[in-house]
């Protein structure tokens, strides 16, 4: 699906996460790390990736944007799969 074919909500999600929430849920829930180690390990891996992006000497806009979206995806997983479970 092309970006222009997305709803305004989906476009907002792509700007925030780099992918729609539906696409992110599908990717997360089908990942071996999620299935075998759980959502906390997925978040830890994403935070490590964001940390690696910070080590670039002269990050460009795309690197900074990738890092921002990666941190947003990690927060989404934390809030959706970990913190929601604690309140039940």
| Total domain count, the chain | 1
Question: Could you give the residue ranges of the DSSP H alpha helices within the chain?
Answer: 8-17, 21-29, 32-37, 39-54, 61-77, 84-86
Domain range for residue 20?
A: 3-86
CA distance 11 to 65: 16
Residue with the two structure tokens 């790390």:
33
What number of CA atoms fall less than 13 Å from residue 53's CA on the CB side? 18
Per-residue pLDDT of 30-71, as tens digits, reads: 999 999 999 999 999 999 999 998 888 888 999 999 999 999
* Average pLDDT score over residue span 19-30: 95
* Average pLDDT score over residue span 5-30: 94
Evaluated on CA atoms 35, 36, 42, 48, the torsion sign reads negative
């Amino acid at each position: 699906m092309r970006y222009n074919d997305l709803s305004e909500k989906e476009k907002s999600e792509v700007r925030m996460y780099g992918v729609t929430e539906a696409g992110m849920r599908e990717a997360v829930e089908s990942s071996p790390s999620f299935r075998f180690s759980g959502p906390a390990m997925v978040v830890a891996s994403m935070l490590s990736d964001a940390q690696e992006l910070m080590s670039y000497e002269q990050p460009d806009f795309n690197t900074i944007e990738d890092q921002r979206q990666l941190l947003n995806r990690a927060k989404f997983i934390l809030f959706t799969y970990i913190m929601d479970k604690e309140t039940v």
